[in-house]
Amino acid sequence: MNVNDSEKVAGLLEARGFEAVATPAEADFVFLNTCAVREKATVKFQQSLVRLGRMKRGRPELRIGVGGCVAQLEGEGLAARSPQVDVLVGTHNLRRIPELLELAESTGRMAVDLDRHADAFDVPDAVTAHANPVRAYVTAMEGCNLVCSFCVVPRTRGPEVNRPAEDIVAEVEAVVAQGYGEVMLLGQTVNAYRSRGRDFADLLALVDAVAGLRRLRFTTSHPSHVTERLARALRDLERVCPYLHLPVQSGSDRVLGSMRRGYTRAQYLETVALLREHVPHVALSSDVIVGYPGETPAEFDETLSLVESVGFDGLFSFSYSPRPGTTALRLDDDVAEQEKRRRLNVLNGHQQQWQRRRNEALVGRADDVLVETIDGPGRVSGRTPQFRIVHLDGPESLLGQVVNVEITGAGSNSLQGRVSQLTH
Ligand code: SAM
């Protein structure tokens, strides 16, 4: 979602005659698109802002913009302590960036728009400067109605707003016409999508029917909104890829309850079983938080055992980070940093080993790879329908093509392959 927001900002600026440069030192305008999910990201942002402030002292014509979740969260406070900033926008005001930049230029003062009630879908589709040559991100919904105790997102992005299916389909048709073979539908809880009597399975069916689309993905799914209809859509719709990112966060019922995730360990495992019953080859990835307030070693072991029993294709593990305005902030952040790190290492170690074993078992098999990256002269890479990365020998002209590949090697994070056939 952040990547897509940056693509929108880049496109809006390009439409005003700006062009992308490689480093801030070459830029007339630097826009920092911020993330507030963990403290680490906000610290990195503050450091970047200090560096840019220093750069601006030597080059006063440099303009600095800040947007995204930290801007929304810290608002006027950020404005007051960051005089180097020229443009400050919240999560719903990206469209106004060029206009605010002109305003800042003409007044010599910071131009601010933090109106969270503005229309978040008002950036014209055609403007987005897609960063990936093959995959276009398309927003299905914004915001989040959940109340997870640890998560700042509902405060920064506001409640759920669903985009009309007709608008989503029109954008997909447009990006496919521009040559993007793959679409990824975006939403904080994308599978909770509901608009004018249509649910997420209906939306997938509508988008799947767009002529010329090769692959359809979506992220992020919430376990409580995985239905049998969604499992059937994954099974039956030809372009929908068999891959779901399904954050579990913890394997302990006590922790899940305190997190207010809305499901138990058993219910999560039932959801996984439902998906695998309909789509046996479905790939699942997940997010896990370690060191949540009060998490005991035994509760962490329950997370490890859940991760072991599901066998995720990918796992993103995070140390719990207290965030402003969340209900978990009232709880004592009592797991020591060192212990959080130990738990992360245990999980990551297990996951890396599992991924290597799983990938090694794929050697000798064939799969379809949509080529999306040029790795170097004569080397390209792409992804299988299950979102697994495969590196190949092949010319640049394979970019955007689906090739049938024989898997010849495996590491824990990617596969090696040999082209057996150009599919299309
Ligand atoms: N709605 C999205 C979802 O469910 O995936 C939220 C995305 S959030 C940006 C990605 C992940 O960050 C979450 O799934 C969670 O594991 C992690 N996260 C969120 N808040 C956190 C916190 N306070 N501390 C540590 N990790 C956190």
pLDDT tens for residues 322-336? Answer: 999 999 999 999 999
> Is the model's pLDDT at 128 over the cut of 80?
yes
The percent of residues in the chain predicted with pLDDT above 90, rounded, is 98
Q: Select from 72, 258, 259, 318 the residue to mutate for testing ligand 1; criterion: most ligand atoms less than 8 Å from CB.
A: 318
CA distance 111 to 102: 9
User: Per the structure block, which two tokens stand in for 146?
Assistant: 């959940």
Is residue 150 within 8 Å of 289, Cβ to Cβ?
Answer: yes
Nearest CA to ligand 1 atom 8: 37
Q: What is the pLDDT of residue 386?
A: 98
CA 361 to chain centre: 28
Q: What integer pLDDT is reported at residue 288 of this predicted model?
A: 98
* 41-96 tens-digit pLDDT: 999 999 999 999 999 999 999 999 999 999 999 998 999 999 999 999 999 999 99
Q: What angle do CA 66, 37, 216 make, to 5 degrees?
A: 90
Region 133-151 average pLDDT: 97
Is 213 a pocket residue for ligand 1 (Cβ < 6 Å)?
no
Ligand 1 atom showing the smallest separation from residue 328 Cα: 23
Q: Looking at the predicted structure, is the pLDDT value of residue 164 above 70?
A: yes
CB of 339 within 6 A of ligand 1: the answer is no
220 CB within 6 A, ligand 1: yes
Q: What is the pLDDT of residue 399?
A: 96
Nearest CA to ligand 1 atom 7: 188
Encode pLDDT of 195-250 as tens digits.
999 999 999 999 999 999 999 999 999 999 999 999 999 999 999 999 999 999 99
Query: By alpha-carbon position, which residue is closest to atom 11 of ligand 1?
Result: 287
pLDDT of residue 423: 63
pLDDT over 80 at 189, yes or no: yes
Cβ of 82: how many Cβ atoms within 10 Å?
18
pLDDT (0 to 100) of residue 120: 85
Burial class (CB in 10 A: 0-12, 13-18, 19+), 89: buried
Residue 416 Cβ contacting ligand 1 at under 6 Å? no
State residue 326's pLDDT score: 97
Ligand 1 atom closest to the CA of 144, numbered from 1: 1
What is the C-alpha separation between 262 and 252, in angstroms, rounded?
13
Beta bridge partners of 244: 284
Nearest CA, atom 14, ligand 1: 287
Query: What integer pLDDT is reported at residue 422 of this predicted model?
Result: 63
Give the ligand 1 atom nearest the CA of 323. 23
Q: Tokens standing for 262?
A: 């809305």
Which protein residue's CA is at the shortest distance from atom 22 of ligand 1? 321
Residue 336 Cα, ligand 1 centroid: separation in angstroms? 20
C-alpha to C-alpha distance for 67 and 90, rounded to whole angstroms: 5
- The tokens describing 23, both together, are 């480093």
Q: What are phi and psi of 279, to 5 degrees?
A: -130, 85
Q: What is the pLDDT of residues 294-311, one digit of tens each?
A: 999 999 999 999 999 999
8 Å CB contact between 173 and 166: no
pLDDT band at 424 (very low <50, low <70, confident <90, very high): low
